[in-house]
Structure 1
Amino acid sequence: MHFITGGAFNGKKAWVKENYGDRGTWLSAYQNQPFNVHHIGSNLLILEGVEVWLKKLTKTYDSNGCREIWKTTIHQWILWENAETHRDLIVIGNDITKGIVPMEKENRLWRDVTGWAYQDLAAKADKVDIIWYGLNQTIKKTGDEK
């Protein structure tokens, strides 16, 4: 799994397309697509807008519920990726955890859950990149990442 984060409108999608091409399947929370990966037949899957999907979770569950669902979701994604030898999973999420802490309780919950979720993603990912202004910085790269 390759986790890519960075600021909004900083070129994450363009960077992914440049580095992975137009092959594969894109699922986007920005287009209200669910992140159900079981039906995906291609060997490259790109999930974008993770922070939007997390915000929907915070509308229904408390932080503990969100984290449990999130950990189960990551596990399912990893199972999908490992089911075939040449599968690659790319996960893109806007970094909403910097800056001023929101005053509204629901937005603070969303920010906190997103921060925890990104920590979980980074821990499980083979590679992690941050994209700022179209430039990447690799902050994690394990031995045999895909």
Structure 2
Amino acid sequence: MLHYISGGQRSGKSDFAVRQALDLSDNPVYLATSRIWDEDHRARVQLHKNSRDTRWENIEEEKYISRLQLENRTVVFDCVTLWLTNFFVDHQYNVADALEEAKSEFERFIQQHFHLIIISNEIGMGVHASTDAGRKFTDLQGWMNQHIARKADKATFMVSGLPLTLK
């Protein structure tokens, strides 16, 4: 089962995903995809880690999620945006190459039999990016979100902490 949760920044996506996971499992996995960019970001990641209790298994993987063996587990994947950033940067901002590699990695990952709750941001609904790289990343994010949403069994859009069922 793949449950796709999207929404804007601070819309309640992660809290909703965590509650969903705990309804499904007593020992879910939290799959964090963020690279640590600076000390402020490191502190934010640590705050996230500290917010989860001992029921959670925390796994950090920046890109190669298909290497993880999560068969029959409940997994919160947080988040597509940070995961895609790693492909985008590693491909020197080439959208086509980053999208191709991310889609391929995602397809290998979802071959496992598990409950996957995947969080992503809807960044194209806000202010138009002022830089070329920002506009390219917005496109990349939108295309990957569409790909994931098509594969999802269930899709939820979060607005102001409220879940709206899309699928």
AA of the residue aligned to 2:158: I
Query: Is 1:88 aligned to 2:129, yes or no?
Result: no
Partner of 2:96: 64
For residues 84 and 162 of structure 2, the distance between their equivalents in structure 1, rounded to whole angstroms, comes to 26
Query: Is 1:139 aligned to 2:140, yes or no?
Result: no
Contact 1:45–1:88 under 8 Å retained in 2: yes
For residues 41 and 139 of structure 1, the distance between their equivalents in structure 2, rounded to whole angstroms, comes to 27
Partner of 1:15: 16
Per-residue CA shift, 1:97-127, capped at 9, x if unaligned? 1122212111111111000000000011111
* Structure 2 residue matching 1:55: 3-state secondary structure: helix
For residues 124 and 145 of structure 2, the distance between their equivalents in structure 1, rounded to whole angstroms, comes to 10
108-117 or 40-49, which deviates more: 40-49
**Paired residues, number:** 135
Shift of 1:9: 1.2
What pairs with 1:110-121 in structure 2 (closer than 5 Å)? Answer: 110-121=137-148
Partner of 2:110: 78
AA of the residue aligned to 1:68: E
TM-score, length basis structure 1 = 0.83
16-25 or 35-44, which deviates more: 35-44
TM-score, length basis structure 2 = 0.73
Shift of 1:78: 1.5
Partner of 2:85: 55
* Structure 2 residue matching 1:102: 3-state secondary structure: coil
Contact 1:25–1:44 under 8 Å retained in 2: yes
